[in-house]
Amino acid sequence: MATDQSPRPRRRRKEARPAEILQAALQEFARNGLAATRLEDIARRAGIAKGTIYRYFDSKEELFIAVIRSRIVLSLDDFNQMITQFPGPTDALLRLVLTGIYREFVGTDIAALMRILISEGQRFPGLVDLYYDEVISIGVSMLSHIIQRGLERGEFRDSAAAREPRLIMAPAIMAALWRLTFNSQDPLSVDDFLNAHIDLVLHGLNSR
């Protein structure tokens, strides 16, 4: 007689629990900041007991790090893989990467993590160091690789913009913080800002 080998709902629920905790944590961090967020609030949002969180994460700070790594670091890994495999012109690659960065990080809950590190960084210097090492420096290196590709292929010119990849990253950070801080006073259209960002960058880099 055939037996049903599919996982039981309770087993599937248990396997999905870390992702559910991370999503709930991201929402609570985005709403309240790091210091003011309580594990009780995360547990309530995730629909679990507070003690369940400790089965997967030792502390609130470890949970914050896990959110960064699961939502940002993995996305950067995907971008880097795309860069190594992209066959087309470098301006199209840069446009694709910047569009992906805006879609993933600007105007989403992820942007709030950077605001937290700016506003609460003095209380959590280790988290600032980790964010720089695993996010900012990787992003700058990624953009440097794209620029070098364009220079080697004769598609970009050796300009001040080509020598300062942080300048290429900066408008995306500014857009994310603007939407979090000033959007009610002066709304920022992500699509319009992205197009202006790309136009500005490519005018500074293109050899033609």
Q: Do residues 133 and 141 lie in contact, with contact meaning Cβ atoms separated by under 8 Å?
A: no
Backbone φ/ψ region at 59: left (φ over 0), alpha (ψ -120 to 50), beta: beta
Q: Is the dihedral of CA 75, 77, 78, 79 positive or negative?
A: positive
Q: Superfamily assignment of 60-205 in CATH? A: Tetracycline Repressor, domain 2 (1.10.357.10)
Q: Per the structure block, which two tokens stand in for 120?
A: 């609460």
Measure the CA–CA gap between 159 and 168, rounded to whole angstroms.
13
Q: Where are the domains of the chain?
A: 60-205
Backbone angles phi, psi at 161, to 5 degrees: -65, -35
**For residues 177 and 111, is the Cβ–Cβ distance under 8 A?**
yes
pTM: 0.84
pLDDT tens per residue across all 208 residues of the chain: 444 554 444 554 556 689 999 999 999 999 999 999 999 999 999 999 999 999 999 999 999 999 999 989 888 999 999 999 999 999 999 999 999 999 988 978 889 998 999 999 999 999 999 999 999 999 999 999 999 999 999 999 998 889 999 999 999 999 999 999 999 999 999 999 999 999 999 998 886 6
Q: Single out the residue of 139, 146, 145 nearest to residue 170, CA to CA.
A: 139
Question: Residue 114: left (phi > 0), alpha (psi -120 to 50), or beta?
Answer: alpha
